[in-house]
Amino acid sequence: MDESGTGGRLMREGRLLAGRYRLDALLGRGGMGEVWRASDLRLNRTVAIKVLPSHGAPAQAIARFRREAEIAAGLQHPSIATVFDIDTDDDTLFLVMELLNGTDLAAVAAQHPQGLPLTRALPILTQIADALAEAHKNDVVHRDIKPPNVMLLDGDRTKILDFGIARYAEQTTDLTGSAMIGTPAFMAPEQFDRNTPVDHRTDLYALGGVAYQLLTGHRPFTADTVPELLHAV
């Protein structure tokens, strides 16, 4: 349901979540919800809030997401976005994260259609790989590593976003309206088959796709239709 009456937004400006977080400005929206700049009124700080619709989502999916979010929040790494809190407000599940000022790697790649110089791309990719190693050591698999999910901050410091959200999205169509979670050009083949287990190798495959785009300026696979793209992969 559109609470704001404009553009199908999930939330409206000024909404207070859990009696603590005031939504100040919509930063972006996509298949997996909305991102807002918000004020933490208890700690008097500015944060980012990812709003995920939970209406109609199976209780098991919400419980699993809470567990995975708690694990992700425990990941201590400079290249993983910090999760401060997770809570619900009516039918709204939301994550409270550090507010990042930067540009995602998709925009960076678009600015360099011939690819980034190796001397710049290699440190960026090394940071991502190191962060994934930390997550995998704690049995956390991202499942949706792609350029839009990696922020580049000043000094080419990286931050991986959205740990745990892809698995939650797979449990409900409320987030995407589709059974396919992720961007096919960066998805490992096993992700196209719901019956095939997904593990840390899925993230490594996706990292290879990110590396390809950063170094060449092009996605690893392109096609005119989704079936053709899946066949190429």
On whether the CB atoms of residues 136 and 22 are closer than 8 A, the answer is no
On whether the CB atoms of residues 4 and 11 are closer than 8 A, the answer is yes
Between CA 73 and CA 67 the distance in angstroms is: 10
Q: How far is CA 152 from the centre of its chain?
A: 14
Domains (range + CATH), the chain: 16-97 (3.30.200.20), 103-232 (1.10.510.10)
Hey, what are 198's tokens?
């997904």
Please report, in tens digits, the pLDDT of each residue of the chain (233 residues total).
344 334 456 789 999 999 999 999 999 886 667 899 999 999 999 999 988 776 666 677 677 667 767 777 788 899 999 889 888 888 788 989 999 999 999 999 999 999 999 999 999 999 999 999 999 998 888 888 999 999 999 999 999 988 766 555 555 444 444 444 557 789 888 888 777 888 999 999 999 999 999 999 999 888 888 888 888 88
The pLDDT score that the predictor gives to residue 174 is 43
pTM of the shown model:
0.82
Is 144 one of the catalytic residues? yes
Between CA 174 and CA 53 the distance in angstroms is: 7
* Cα distances (angstroms) measured from residue 70 to each of 21, 75, 140, 152, 215: 19, 9, 11, 24, 34
User: Of the listed 144, 162, 174, 203, which one is catalytic?
Assistant: 144
Between CA 146 and CA 127 the distance in angstroms is: 14
Residue 130: other Cβ atoms inside 10 A: 14
The pLDDT score that the predictor gives to residue 86 is 86
